[in-house]
Structure 1
Amino acid sequence: MSPRRGGPEPDAITALAADAYVYGAPLVRRLSAVQARLQEGGGAPVPFNDFVHAEGPATPGTHTPYAPADLVDALAQLDLSGGPVRLHVPDTGGAYYVLQFVDAWSNAFAYVGTRATGTGEGDWMIVPPGWAGTVPDGVSGVIDAPTSVVSVVGRLACDGPGDVPRVRALQQELTLTHLGDRAHRTGLPATEPGVPGELRFFEELRVWTADFPPAAADRAYQDRFQPLGLLEEGISPYVSAGPGLVRALRRGLALGRLRVEEAARRPALLADGPPAAWQATPHLRDYNLDHFGVGTLGTPQWTIPDRQASYLVRAVAARRGHWLPHGYEAVYAHSVRDSRGHPLDGSHRYVLRLAEPPPVRAFWSLTVYDSPGGHLVTHAADRYALGDRTPGLVHGADGSLTLRLSAERPTDPAGAANWLPVPTGRFRAVLRLHLPDQAVLDGDYVIPALERLEGRRGPRP
């Protein structure tokens, strides 16, 4: 395919291609991750409609950046092309958990868990688009999937190594059952062989958009990309694309990526107020404007009024990670600088003074990771998170809590009880607030900055 005489000029094709990247990158990233799991999920293929479970909370050997040290992950890729899938969730005995449902376009469209549905036992039926069958007895509710491929991201609270057996038992009871009368797919729709690597993005977007169409409100915008060949069926237009089209698409791809990278560096795009010591993006998932299933909020506070602006936020969210929840489920705040603006570094000692605990309805925890890698660092103490579930924390007479962050253990008992080991070099602190109160979401609660103590690191508190 090449632009026809009287059609868009190369510069116009480049601009369209940049828009197509911003619009389509979440779909391509999401389904590429699904495909990777199907082919090799942590060493072995993980089929559709089955959970893969972490053996416990993150440790220094965990390869996933910024993995939580007090939650145990569960992940499943669902394919509903053969019909519905039934999900059974066990009774967690009041312990926090959440199952987040994400469609092919990266929309978090449903939640099952403590906040949304409670902690009791239940069964849920996940049905494909347009399904009109009969709901079996004993089903707690129906979850309407916007696309026939869905990811289920599970997080189960774990109170340290001694709590792992309980969590592992819950994982065994967390099951999926295919209810459809047809076999489901075993892989994603195949793209055309022979497409040059530099055009693979557009080929994947072309094929996967056809099989996983967006919301009806997005289709008029998507029609703009017809000159790029994204709406063509049959043989790929990119196998024998002319040099002019290849150049325009290549430039558009680069421009689109740059646009997303620049937006990701602008806190004002995703967070309210000026930059602070702690950065958080509670509205990073607000681009979902069409699919509000179980446990989601479609109120103005949690939706972006400008649909086209939502595409850029969605692309930034896809670039940062697929598994971030809506802010009303959890807020992850991070900091790489102390109260004076200096980078956090394990050659110094720090304190986090909490006059009052972070206002949450579930729990909060503080974890540190090496920077820029985002991994836990081996330490003799084997202590990777502190929070309101940590036994033995020492509070002040006024109820305040002072956490100590240093590479070496403080010598006084109170300092040691409230101590979180840090790497010897640069690090990032992450404060996770599960089921945050409105004060967190409104910005009325401000997380205090980490204060660097005078002097280099040492054994003193």
Structure 2
Amino acid sequence: MSQPALENLAADAYIYGYPMVHDLGKVDAIRTRGMGPMAAAEFNTFGHARQLADPRTDFVSVNNDTLYSVAQLDLSGGPLLLHVPDTGGAYYVLQFVDAWSNNFAYLGRRATGTAEQTWLIAPPGWHGSPPEGVRVVVAPTAVASIVGRFACDGAEDLPRVLELQRALTLTPLEPGGVYAGLPQPDPGVPEELRFFEQLRRWAAAFPPAGPDAEYQRRFAPLGLLDEGRSPYLDGAPEWTATLVKGIEAGKARIEAASRPPEGTATGEWTANLHLFDYNLDFFGPGTLDDPQWRIPDRRAAYLTRAVAARVGLWGNHAYEAAYAGVYHDADGVTLSGAHSYTLRFATTPPVAAFWSVTMYDVPDYYLVANPIDRYSIGDRTPGLVRGADGSLTLVLQHERPTDPDEAANWLPTPEGEFRPMIRMYQPGEAVLDGTYRLPPIEPR
């Protein structure tokens, strides 16, 4: 294979494998170190955030609307029983994500209601029988994640949510299982090839769907199908250099695809309602197995999946929560904390649950510290001031406004460039069919 062909193949492999490597990297980090205010928790145990996300939460595009309850699952030792408490009608979702970042099941207000529930979570290929009356979620990979979100309306609502978290449990169906855990890459592999070593180990441990496994065979010249000793320990210098170039090219393609396309209308919010539609094979409870929610071109879905992992890892399908982001104001100028803006809703987003606008920095998409500890603003924010016509005008700027009404509606921005994101939980049909249009951010 020629050097340019090998480099291009390596770029394809990076795009294909980035979601798994990024996902399982987070699985391992959260399991061992936690995530911001959420303490570390071993496999098959929930870790709970006891306060809403803040700048200490180093997770891309994290939400500030809900308290997270996250469990990393290792099903190699057998199925788990999941107990979910009654939330009394309050919004929550338990999103199930496999090792390839596919959303393969949802439990919660939209999907299964808010009454008390017990489910059995089974590993791939399991053929046992669940306890009587217990419904089953089958995981596509032996390691997976449950990303739980409980709506929390601020500090005064914390006791209610903390009680729900305490009642959320995982227990083995049969004690005494032997667990394989997460295979670790060979520590002797050079750092510049660590990505491919992780992908090699993890793709073998957690095989994808059949059509994806067939696509993976293309990557044999890269060493990604090698078993046993790592091919990256002593690869030929020219071969290694070509793989590194391919990795960089793959990164560049993901970054380019993560930005709005050239010619995007100025000030338009990018509401990619199909960013998480790359799961084409595994449709468990709460998912919609419908052509409307599947990307028809499998190869195109690989880049979409990589972009989703880059800008919003563990995001939901739009039918659960719709997301929209924007990088420019109404005049097409890049958003920056050097300027002041307004965001006026003549009609606020139509949702069955709630909506919010969250502020992130660029390019990391992290929350940014501010003097009032306000990282999002929305229909549950107390004290918002509406216009006489019922409209709602938010003020986006770095410094606190001097006008009291504007201060009440202030969403602080970073000093530098920023990207706000609007989340719409249980969005209405007008959001999903594009009838509802989000207003542009106007410079002042």
> Shared topology, TM-score over 0.5?
yes
Alignment partner of 1:448 is 2:439: yes
Q: Deviations over 1:48-72 (max 9, x none)?
A: 0011111111235544454333211
Q: Percent identity?
A: 55
Alignment partner of 1:325 is 2:325: no
Maintained 8 Å contact 1:35/1:187 = no
SS at match of 1:115: coil
Bigger CA radius of gyration = 1
Q: Deviations over 1:194-236 (max 9, x none)?
A: 3333322222222211111110111221112222222222222
Alignment partner of 1:353 is 2:344: yes
Task: Tell me what 2:191 maps to.
Answer: 197
SS at match of 1:56: coil
Maintained 8 Å contact 1:79/1:184 = no
SS at match of 2:201: helix
Task: Tell me what 1:73 maps to.
Answer: 68
Unaligned runs of 5+ in 2: none
For 2:162, the aligned partner's letter is R
Q: Distance in 2 between matches of 1:200 and 1:426?
A: 31
Moved more, 244-253 or 356-365: 244-253
| CA distance 1:428–1:225, shift in 2 (3 Å) | closer
| CA distance 1:239–1:180, shift in 2 (3 Å) | farther
CA-atom RMSD in angstroms: 2.6
Alignment partner of 1:114 is 2:109: yes
Following superposition, the deviation at residue 118 of structure 1 comes to 0.9
Within 5 Å, give how 1:208-227 maps onto structure 2.
208-227=202-221
Alignment partner of 1:314 is 2:305: yes
TM-score (norm 2): 0.90
Q: Distance in 1 between matches of 2:410 and 2:342?
A: 9
Task: Tell me what 1:86 maps to.
Answer: 81
Unaligned runs of 5+ in 1: 1-7, 454-461
Task: Tell me what 1:55 maps to.
Answer: 50
Maintained 8 Å contact 2:267/2:441 = no
Alignment partner of 1:30 is 2:23: yes
Q: Distance in 2 between matches of 1:383 and 1:123?
A: 36
Q: Distance in 2 between matches of 1:262 and 1:79?
A: 34
Within 5 Å, give how 1:265-344 maps onto structure 2.
265-267=259-261, 274=265, 276-344=267-335
TM-score (norm 1): 0.87
Match of 1:188 among 171, 182, 185: 182
For 1:309, the aligned partner's letter is A
Maintained 8 Å contact 1:392/1:417 = yes
Within 5 Å, give how 1:361-372 maps onto structure 2.
361-371=352-362
Maintained 8 Å contact 1:360/1:435 = yes
SS at match of 1:362: coil
- What is the number of residues matched between the two proteins? 440
Q: Distance in 2 between matches of 1:193 and 1:377?
A: 36
Task: Tell me what 1:457 maps to.
Answer: none
Following superposition, the deviation at residue 444 of structure 1 comes to 1.6
Maintained 8 Å contact 1:330/1:434 = yes
Maintained 8 Å contact 1:264/1:316 = yes
Task: Tell me what 1:456 maps to.
Answer: none
SS at match of 1:431: strand
Moved more, 254-263 or 161-170: 254-263
